[in-house]
Amino acid sequence: MQVCWLVSKDGRHQPIRLAHATCVFIGRSPETKITDKKCSRQQVQLKADYNKGYVLVKQLGINPSNVNSEDVGKDNEVQLKPGQILHIVNQLYPYTIQFEEEISEKKKLSPKRPHEEISPNSNSSTLNKYLKTEHSSPREHSTSNNMSERKKEKTKGGQTVTAANSAEISEKKGMWSQGLKVSMQDPKLQVYKDDTVVVIKDKYPKARFHWLVLPWEPISSLKAVRRDHLNVLRHMNEVGEKLVQECLDSKALRFRLGYHAIPSMSHLHLHVISQDFDSPCLKTKKHWNSFNTDYFVESQVVMKMVEQNGKVIVKDEMPELLKMPLMCHVCRQQLSTIPQLKEHLRKHFP
């Protein structure tokens, strides 16, 4: 299945998805971060044609829009093809389009693979009193199957499944999502704890340094956070900042503290992650975009939201952010694959 993205070449904002045969209006707005008064709120109308591989651009605003330096003209339509540049108004605010195949989100559940959010980070340097050097390897879980109790059924595709398998997968999925609650109790995984929080290393770190700060209080996710939790959030942030300060590489690396808008693991956890993203565990577009789009909500933003609104507002379009094109978080260059992105990142983080 194809998908089309409108990509800001100057990195003003995240790519915008253009659905097939659907009119999308681009102009002066909070979404584009264009504040130029010469740009209309509906400066251009865009309609993607997935079958023909181009986007129809119609100028609606008074001031000129351009495709490859040629004026579109008021109420005129031109084709915008991959590789061409659309300037929204007066040769400013350049955009390109990108068609790509959308990768299916369906993946087989592997019983022996715990969730990728928590694992010991073997690259982590020694910290002083806040960090311990001791850690353990991920645990493998085994299950026994009673073959006599399996009731076989045939799927439409001809594959054999059983009622016992279905129940087993559901049970494992439940255990999988609850993995943080187990890990935070394990002394071998803990790198710091006090009466309010515990810190563990991510079992499958997405960067050289990747910790999780979890409250002892049972808070399931950001959606469960209320104003009463504000002091807990502040303490989590303070501990996260302390981890960064005590890190031996903190002067060479930049860190971010934040939450996934829709986490797949139950129990609230704050990510403290270095921005090198140098890790073999970072393997997919979903991994990258979960930390490098608005899907990753800054700790300070969460605290401010709770202080003002008494809760965290998670927008409905968050899952779509995980499907965005790969884009370097430093220079905003687009890359086609994760290996290309990793090779590119070495220029920024030798």
d(CA 214, CA 236): 7
Q: Could you give the angle at which helices 299-309 and 230-246 cross, rounded to 10 degrees? A: 160
d(CA 232, CA 236): 6
d(CA 134, CA 140): 19
Q: Could you give the angle at which helices 285-292 and 338-348 cross, rounded to 10 degrees? A: 40
The residue assigned the tokens 């942030």 is 237
Handedness of CA 9, 15, 18, 24 (dihedral sign): negative
Would you call 57 helix, strand, or coil by DSSP? strand
Strands (E) located in the chain: 2-8, 16-18, 23-26, 44-49, 54-59, 66-67, 70-71, 77-80, 86-89, 92-101, 152-154, 160-162, 190-193, 197-201, 210-215, 255-260, 270-274, 296-298, 326-327, 334-335
Would you call 36 helix, strand, or coil by DSSP? coil
d(CA 48, CA 27): 17
| DSSP state letters, 90-101 | TTEEEEEEEEEE
Burial group, residue 32, by CB count within 10 angstroms (0-12, 13-18, 19+)? buried
Residue 235 among the catalytic residues: no
Query: Among 269, 271, 329, 348, which one carries the catalytic annotation?
Result: 269
Catalytic residues: 269
